[in-house]
Amino acid sequence: MKIVRTAGVLMILTAWSAASAGPASRPAARPADEPILGGALFFRPPPDDYHLLGRSENDRSIHYATADGAGAINLAVVPQDNAIGNLSQPIAQAVVRKLKAEFEEGHTPVLMQPRVEKDPDLFIRIHEKFKNADGRSIDQIHIFRVIGIYLVSATVTAASDDPAAVNQIHKLGEDLLWTVHTAAARPASRPSPRNAPPAPAPEPVTFAESGIRLLPPRGWNADTADNPQGVIATYHDLAHARRLIVVSARPLNDVVRRDAPLREALLNELLEADSRYVAGRGATATGRVLPQRDARFAHKARMSFLAPDGDLLADSRQVIVGATAVSVLSVSPPDEAADTEKAGDAVAASLRAALPKPPTR
């Protein structure tokens, strides 16, 4: 069984960053924790019955499939020039259009047209069903996460009419996607409402490129990227899938640091970027921005949104730390807003300048 309907998707993602892909080569090694994109990211490979078919020469994609053709997983990473922000809707629409065009051009028997499905934990989820060239029923998903400046996707293909078998293969692909992490971070896992033992007290996390350090929220999963600007950390609450905290950074040049109106304009830009981030998850603003008084922060404001799965409240805080402006956004349903706001406040209040590296001897 060949992996189907993945080349067009990767082409769409590459177009967003004006990148290009090369032909595939076939590596032999399969370590326990495998790198992709030259070691910029790492992931946990699927079980041994999924055989490694190959990598692209630019190391942006890697392909696995079972010997009997029942399951296949294509993992792809596309780096972006800037933070991805609220591009989930246009990217999803472009991928769906490309998939539909490929089906039509290939005269593929379509059982279910590609469609975007709601998943609050993922950046994008697209699902389709069709018959392949061998006449087998294919149930396929394309799922996406954002890790810093990297758009990470998994195309998971199940060749089966058995819903239980399809769900098992899809879950395997989802689990693999959630293991993708930077070298400095531990693998994440899909947020789950299950009760978990108390998490240990968090240790400070340093982002050397942006020159800051912070205390992450206790017991939340982290996706981090040590970049000088843009989204540097996204935290997901393990027990409440719709709660998240997003940390963004923007460097301050000397002119902005000395000019109060320019600083104010930059802080307002960070607030607007936080609003666009929530809108990018499929939510629509339902009210005006309400400034909040909090002496700990340069700015704080509350925003309300209506998402496909219900109302959301978002609190955005801006802090200047040395030569960096930092924004901490917290988002949750209204009934969890008090605890989420408290967690976001704690992250923002913990912000400090990064400690200098000790001299080498």
Number of domains within the chain = 2
- pLDDT tens digits, one per residue of 331-351: 998 888 889 999 999 999 999
Tell which wins on pLDDT, 183 or 222: 222
Query: Quick one: 96 and 32 in the same domain?
Result: yes
Question: Does residue 188 belong to any structural domain of this protein?
Answer: no
pLDDT range class, residue 114, cuts 50, 70, 90: very high
DSSP state of 96: H
Is 29 contained in some domain? yes
* Pair 297, 157 in one domain: no
Section 43-68 average pLDDT: 93
Are 148 and 20 in a shared domain? yes
Please indicate, yes or no, if residue 347 is contained in any of the structural domains.
Answer: yes
Across all residues in the chain, what is the average pLDDT? 84
Query: Distance from first CA to last CA of the chain, Å, rounded?
Result: 56
Residues 6+ apart with CB under 8 A from 128: 5, 99, 110, 112, 113, 114, 115, 140
Q: For residues 261 and 258, what is the distance between their CA atoms, to the nearest angstrom? A: 9
In a domain, 149, yes or no: yes
Same domain for 177 and 31, yes or no, is yes
| Residues 285 and 343 reside in one and the same domain | yes
Is the confidence at residue 39, as pLDDT, over 50? yes
Q: Give the pLDDT confidence score for residue 342 in this predicted structure.
A: 93
Cα separation of 311 and 336, whole Å?
Answer: 11
Other CB atoms within 10 Å distance of the CB of residue 325: 25
Specify whether 169 is located in the same domain as 24: yes
For 248-304, how does the pLDDT look when each residue is reduced to its tens digit (9 = 90+)? 999 999 898 889 999 999 999 999 999 999 998 889 998 889 999 999 999 999 999
Q: Which domain holds residue 124?
A: 7-182
User: Which is it for strands 244-251 and 230-237: parallel, antiparallel or unpaired?
Assistant: antiparallel
Same domain, 148 and 244: no
pLDDT at 32 over 80: no
194 found inside a domain: no
Q: pLDDT tens digits, residue range 170-198? A: 999 999 999 998 876 656 656 554 444 55
Domain CATH code at residue 125: 3.40.1000.10
Residue 110: C-alpha distances to residues 11, 128, 190 (Å): 21, 8, 30
Cβ pair 210, 327 in contact under 8 A: no
> Residue 188: its pLDDT value, please?
60
Whole-number Å distance between alpha carbons of 89 and 100? 17
Residue 167 sits in the same domain as residue 313: no
pLDDT at 11: 52
Asked if 33 and 172 sit in the same domain, the reply is: yes
Give helix 88-105 / helix 7-16 axis angle, nearest 10°: 140
Check pLDDT > 90 for residue 199: no
CA distances 193 to 176, 220, 332, Å, are 20, 12, 14
Same domain, 101 and 209: no
Please give the pLDDT value at position 87. 75
Which residue shows structure tokens 């490694």? 52
Min mean pLDDT across 13-17, 230-234, 249-253, 325-329 is at: 13-17
pLDDT of residue 22: 38
Sign of the Cα pseudo-torsion (127, 88, 38, 222, in order) = negative
Contact 77, 150 (CB under 8 A): yes
Same domain for 298 and 172: no
Q: Are residues 162 and 78 in the same domain?
A: yes
Note the pLDDT of residue 29.
40
> Whole-model pTM?
0.51
Percent of the chain at pLDDT > 70 equals: 83
